[in-house]
A and B are shown apart, each in its own frame.
Chain A
Amino acid sequence: MDQIYLDNAACTPVDLRVIAYAAPFSDGTIGNPSTLHSRGLGARAALEDAREKIKALLHAEDDKCIVFTSGATEANNLAIQGTALRNPKLGNHLVASAIEHISVLNPMKGLQKQGYTFDLIPVDAYGMVDLEALKKLVTKGTAVVSVMAANSEIGTIEPIREVSAIVHDAGAYLHVDATAAAGHIPVDVQRDGIDLCSVSSNDLTGPQGAGALYIKSGVKVQPVLVGGGQERGLRPGTENLFAIVGMGEAARLTQLEMVQEADRVRRIRDALITGMVSVKESYLTGHPALRLPNQASFRFSYIEGESIVLLMDQFGVQVSTGSACSSLTLEPSHVLLALGLKHEQVHGSMVLSLGKSNTPDQVPHVISAVTETVNRLRALSPLSNDRR
């Protein structure tokens, strides 16, 4: 049976052109970018070429604004801890949307132990940040506000330009986690008024193990890891050249093909949504229109998401869920809870994230797999009303 992979947000297959491009940087024949001999200079040139490509992806003002990291988690940590701790004069108040990734929320929670205060911006039932609430939350003492460009679990695209105006009126810095958005919708740090912006290589169809943080010229950040002087001292440690070079090329290709690819996956995604909402007591989660083109998420009453993932896999379809039962922490998705859903509703979630391998002819099989999965699990469920 052909496998249908719909969990690209968790792990994206690397573009084969990217692997071919970056392969020469994986075998050790290219030197260390910090050395001065010919091998090292070749490595340095490749590193700076990748930096130019990330600069172009985010429309940064200068390539010096791009710091390579090991991934988006590290970029988010550097953005929040590094900026807050380096700029004590700004204040000791941190703000994040309630649907941020855990690698944004946990650094902020961690700083509470160092005397920082931390507030969450509520979101509406579609996952849109509440701009009026944000206005009230940001004050003179706010140092960093973090709002993601788009959410990977519900697909909702946030109004970053409006957020930026409010944050900058209060004199705080805006961090935007663009991990889910970059490569799928335009992210422009200058147009959108972003001070710090995180991206991940793998979400751009690049190799795992690289990410980047954009730091606006003039914004002072201190390192989280300490060591040598790589990445202007902000991210010490020998660069993961294979992943970084691959990330650069993936960014270039993704940007080049974004409009066409977004249009292609949006059609497949829309067909999946149409088919899925025809299943009895199924609901789309996230914003119906302002959402990532490759993302569709649902919840089904009376059934549990880990069971959905396991059964769908039996039909050759790989999906994700926000159910507590499938997470390492056994915590339900904080994103779905922030929408105002009840715990039992969150348990029945199913998240689809599309990628290059998906085609329109897969849609009927996915819909029938979901229908069969839902029917089988509901037949087992004591919560299902039709059984009484």
Chain B
Amino acid sequence: MASVGYSKKVMEHFLNPRNVGVIEHPDGYGKVGNPVCGDVMEIFISVKDDIITDIKFRTFGCGSAIATSSMVTELAKGKNVDEAMRITRGDVANELEGLPAQKMHCSNLAADALHEAIKDYRARKAKK
């Protein structure tokens, strides 16, 4: 039978999202999307010696928005910020064993949120 709906991996992350929450004093913070189009994601990172030691997210959105957020936090945790900067939307979708075609664009913003958080971390670091 043709494959329809979300992959098992997407559902697994949607139902058991990793790294949900807020970091009170993050070293970097990124937020993308807007409530009008239906997806808002925010990512908080703690960084030590350019390594992402902790990461949390909160997401308003559909199943794939939540699953991609969860997945990107797993991919980024423990990585060097330069490495994490190279995580793409495509990587996130691949790790989730694919996303429905119409979701690839609108609900796959998690990598963007991560990149924003890293840029914020770098900007804060430059100011110090």
Contacts and interface: CB of A to CB of B under 8 A. Distances in A.
Given A310-B63, A382-B31, A325 B38 contact: yes
Contact of B35 (A311, A343, A379): A343
Contacts of A387: 22, 58
Interface string A339-374: 000111001000000000000000000000000000
Given A380-B20, A380-B66, A343 B58 contact: no
Nearest to A305: B62
Contact size class for A?
20 to 34
Contacts of A166: none
Nearest to A346: B38
B61 A307 contact: yes
B38 A304 contact: yes
Interface string A130-147: 000000000000000000
Contacts of B15: 311, 314
Task: Tell me whether chain A's interface is mostly helix, strand or loop, or mixed.
Answer: helix
Contacts of A290: none
Given A324-B37, A330-B106, A387-B22, A307 B58 contact: no
A117 interface: no
A238 interface: no
Interface residues of B, number: 27
Contacts of A323: 38, 62
Interface of B: 6, 11, 14-15, 17, 20, 22, 31, 35-42, 58-63, 65-66, 102, 106-107
Contact of B62 (A325, A342, A343): A325
A195 interface: no
Most buried by B among A325, A326, A342: A325
A138 B68 CA distance: 50
Task: Tell me whether chain B's interface is mostly helix, strand or loop, or mixed.
Answer: mixed
Contacts of B35: 343-344, 347, 383
A314 B102 CA distance: 23
Nearest to A302: B60
Most buried by A among B42, B59, B106: B59
Interface of A: 302-304, 306-307, 310-311, 314, 323-326, 328, 330, 332, 342-344, 347, 379-383, 387
B14 A310 contact: yes
B59 A380 contact: yes
A382 B56 CA distance: 12
Given A303-B60, A325-B61, A382 B40 contact: yes
A326 to B, nearest CB: 7
A311 B38 CA distance: 17
Contact of B38 (A324, A328, A379, A380): A324
A381 B14 contact: no
A66 B1 CA distance: 39
Nearest to B6: A310
Nearest to A310: B63
A344 B60 CA distance: 10
Contacts of B31: 382
Closest 10 A-B residue pairs measured CB to CB? A344-B35, A325-B62, A306-B62, A382-B58, A343-B36, A381-B60, A382-B42, A347-B38, A310-B63, A383-B60
Nearest to A388: B22
Given A304-B65, A343-B37, 10 more contacts: A310-B14, A330-B106, A332-B38, A344-B36, A347-B35, A380-B58, A381-B60, A382-B58, A382-B59, A383-B60
